[in-house]
Amino acid sequence: MKFTIYQESRTGKRANNEDRVAYCYSREALLMVVADGMGGHYYGEVAAQIAVQTLTEAFPNESRPRLRDPFMFLQKGMLNAHRGILDFAGKHHLLDSPRTTCVACIVQNNVAYWAHSGDSRLYLLRNGKALAQTRDHSRVRLLVDQGVISEEQMTVHPDRNKIYGCLGGQQTPEIEYSRKTTLTAGDVLVLCTDGVWSGLPGDMLATALKSADLMGAVPALIDEAEARGGPHADNLSIIAVRWGDTYADESSGGSGLISTKTMPRDTVTTKLDEFGRHPSRKIELTEEEIELAIEEIRSTIQKYSK
């Protein structure tokens, strides 16, 4: 596999960053995950961390070096994350379980498979156009589908934060799956939270990322989304990958350029920040409390990753 990948998560103008992003890859498969947590105190961060960590920790066990059934992997991972969040809520005697949206994508054999619950999105961009986009599990999306409001009204509607699909909570999560989608050289996959897409329409993303270097273009797009969010800008998180670039300058080791051709079959590379450790994620916990939370999250995930 050959691809360029970039991920970033910012707090925006919120008190804490409840988003989490991660990716990992073996020689023949790539996993990307974005989650947007919801919950009081620090529990939104916990829910999102459990989601991304459950998937990324299961990946090395099942990508040898590719996944047997990508859709089954995504389903199992999201449902296990859902159960893990409920376990955490029960252990802490929370009156209401924290929740998180989640969008995840697997690429192997030049085919993309994705799944989502909630309103974190995936876009497939090709030749400057948005070829595919996930459908939000939200109240405003239903209103648009019913013709009650327009796409432009979604981001300012009073019900814009009401979602009916998520991991955690009392209901079994609604998880929606893509079709198997073959990628071509130059295709860009974007996974992002609503803090990004609410300020950046899909066609704007497609135009900006048509041929630009992701390392420079994506931070500029996040700057724009944050500026458009104004004084109440939400957390902003994104993973963008350009598939099958021409690697004429591969030997230069440029930032973000990855080739898995020489990776050992049993090796997996992961980029995932530990809970509470990223400098942009403000969290009002002491180092001791963070260490305890990390241990609790890890023990919760291990229960479902066997």
Question: What are 136-145's pLDDT values in tens digits?
Answer: 998 888 887 7
- Which among 163, 78, 71, 54 has a CA at the least distance from the CA of 114? 71
What does R_g of the chain's alpha carbons equal in angstroms? 18
**pLDDT tens profile 199-245:** 998 999 999 999 889 999 999 999 999 999 999 999 999 999 999 84
Residue written as token pair 């910012």: 10
User: What pTM was estimated for this model as a whole?
Assistant: 0.92
- Which among 201, 117, 96, 115 has a CA at the least distance from the CA of 152? 201
Element (DSSP H or E) covering residue 215: helix 214-229
Contact criterion met (CB below 8 Å) for 76 and 54 = no
pLDDT at 212: 83
* Phi, psi values for residue 186, rounded to 5°: 100, -15
Q: Which of 63-77, 101-115, 156-170, 265-279 has the lowest mean pLDDT?
A: 156-170
Q: What CATH number should be reported for the domain holding residue 202?
A: 3.60.40.10
pLDDT at 171: 87
Total domains in the chain come to 1
Range of the domain at 103: 2-304
